Amino acid sequence: MITRWLMNDRGGAVMLGVLLLAALVVPLANLGIGADSPLHVSTYTVTLLGKYLCYAVLALALDLVWGYCGVLSLGHGAFFALGGYAMGMYLMRQIGERGVYGNPLLPDFMVFLNWERLPWYWHGFDMFWFALVMVALAPGLLAFVFGWLAFRSRVTGVYLSIITQALTYALMLAFFRNEMGFGGNNGLTDFKDLLGFDLQADATRVSLFLASAALLAIAYVACRHITGSRLGRVVVAVRDAENRARFLGYRVENYKLWVFTFSAVLAGLAGALYVPQVGIINPSEFQPLNSIELVIWVAVGGRGTLWGAAAGAVLVNYAKTSFTAVLPEVWLFALGALFVLTTLLLPRGLAGLLRNRGEAR
């Protein structure tokens, strides 16, 4: 069965192939080849690639709700950040006595604020499995409650996009506050190790890169499984003719709700792998601009294709890295121009371009 859908999904097959290749070559080129060789891949690059892969998972998550279900979320960065914070809390608790203040229980910022006790919601985060559950549960629950309210009231289109944007903005303001207990505007940082492995070690970095690649591959297969099932066709039906689906007996709200929640969980997982690689999570991850950039990645890659969205995330972020190294002020303008140009010239994104080529041949 798997071979059959890989045959029908050339883009996906290529993407999984490239991932597999990268998973074999990158560790070898980092750990196996000496730093003096031109074939060596630096740890900095490995981490950068791992970061791109996390973005690609986030793009997949958005493509599922936007490309297939027609729900344009302008707040998906919030779910990514929540997953990141859950992981960050675990990493903070791992620091233990090695913090600046040497407090075995309280993270530095709490000692700094003269807090006596660990807030109740920080309990349990010393256990990895608990943190993992929260990585999925926090964004999933938020998406479920938000979606339940929004979809049941039949909020759609631009209005829905605006309230998702408001959601992430509100969360950003909340996380900025010191009283919230998430480190205020500094966020969570100075992480030492994960599951006992030193986060600065090359081998840990490579493992995180591999985990990101694995997450992307699994997320892709899961999303493809959903879009290929009857559920996937109902979702497309809801996108294209919501009322028709409703009058056929589908509870449109439930469909949107489950897809939205699943997508949020996926975004949370991506955030959780992102944080140990970049070494910090702070409220700026909630900023509305991040969610909008995410929409641009998906639009550039080609929405409604999954692999296109993932490729778009990697390409645009590669461009961002290269661009900001030379002309940091210009990047936002370049991004805006990119979005306008894709909308006008490539409404189906790069994936659409490739597909047209294929059809013309």
Partner 1 sequence: MTPLLRRDRVFDFLAPPLPPDALLDTRHGPILYLEDISVSFDGFKALDDLSLYIDDGELRCIIGPNGAGKTTMMDVITGRTRPDTGSAWFGSRVDLLRLDEPAIAGAGIGRKFQKPTVFEKLSVVQNLELACHGDKAVWRTLLAALDADQRATVAGVLDTIGLAGHAHREAGALSHGQKQWLEIGMLLTQRPRLLLLDEPVAGMTQEEIERTAELFRALAGAHSVVVVEHDMEFVRSIANKVTVLHEGRVLVEGDMQAVQNDPRVIEVYLGE
Q: What is the nearest approach in angstroms of partner 1 to the Cβ of residue 232? A: 9
Per CB under 8 A, 128 contacts partner 1: no
On whether the CB atoms of residues 95 and 192 are closer than 8 A, the answer is: yes
Question: In this chain, which stretch among 76-84, 94-102, 226-234, 313-321 interacts with partner 1, using CB under 8 A?
Answer: 226-234
- 234 lies in the binding site for partner 1 (CB under 8 A): yes
Residue number, 128 or 144, with CB nearest to partner 1: 144
Task: From 40-48, 134-142, 244-252, 307-315, give the range in contact with partner 1 by CB under 8 A.
Answer: 244-252
Q: How far is the CB of 208 from partner 1 (least distance, A)?
A: 31
CB closer to partner 1 out of 49 and 257? 257
Q: Closest separation between CB of residue 240 and partner 1, Å? A: 5
5 binds partner 1 (CB under 8 A): no
Q: In the structure encoding, which two tokens stand for residue 61, read together?
A: 């998550």
The minimum distance between CB 223 and partner 1, in angstroms, equals: 12
In the bound state with partner 1, the residue whose beta carbon lies nearer, of 232 and 276, is 232
Residue 230 contacts partner 1 per CB under 8 A = yes
* Chain centroid to CA 78: 10
Q: Which stretch binds partner 1 (CB under 8 A): 39-47, 77-85, 224-232, 323-331?
A: 224-232
H helix intervals, the chain: 2-8, 10-27, 43-63, 76-95, 108-112, 128-152, 157-176, 202-228, 230-240, 242-247, 252-278, 288-301, 307-326, 331-345, 349-360
> How many other C-beta atoms are found inside a 10 Å radius of the C-beta of residue 288?
18
Verify binding: residue 115, partner 1, rule CB under 8 A.
no
Residue 293's contacts (CB-CB under 8 Å, 6 or more residues apart) are 316, 335
Options 13, 231, 315, 334; binder of partner 1; rule CB under 8 A? 231
Q: For partner 1, which residue of 254, 321, 343, 356 counts as binding (CB under 8 A)?
A: 254
Stretch that binds partner 1, among 87-95, 97-105, 243-251, 312-320 (CB under 8 A): 243-251
What whole-number distance in Å separates Cα of residue 87 and Cα of residue 273?
A: 8
Binding flag, residue 246, partner 1 (CB under 8 A): yes
Q: Which of residues 149-168 bind partner 1 (CB under 8 A)?
A: 152
For residue 216, give the nearest of 40, 28, 12 by alpha carbon.
12
Tokens of 35: 């730093």
Residue 348: CA atoms inside 13 Å, Cβ hemisphere, count?
Answer: 9
37 binds partner 1 (CB under 8 A): no
Residue that is written with structure tokens 């993992």 in the block: 132
Q: Can residue 8 be called a binding residue for partner 1 (CB under 8 A)? A: no
CB of 141 to partner 1, least distance (A): 16
Residue 98 binding partner 1, by CB under 8 A: no
**Cα distances (angstroms) measured from residue 190 to each of 10, 126, 280:** 42, 16, 7
Q: Rounded to whole angstroms, what are the CA distances from 15 to 3, 212, 225?
A: 15, 14, 16
Give the tokens for residue 126.
């010393």
Query: By the criterion CB under 8 A, which residues form the site for partner 1?
Result: 148, 152, 226, 229-231, 233-234, 236-237, 240-241, 243-255, 257-258
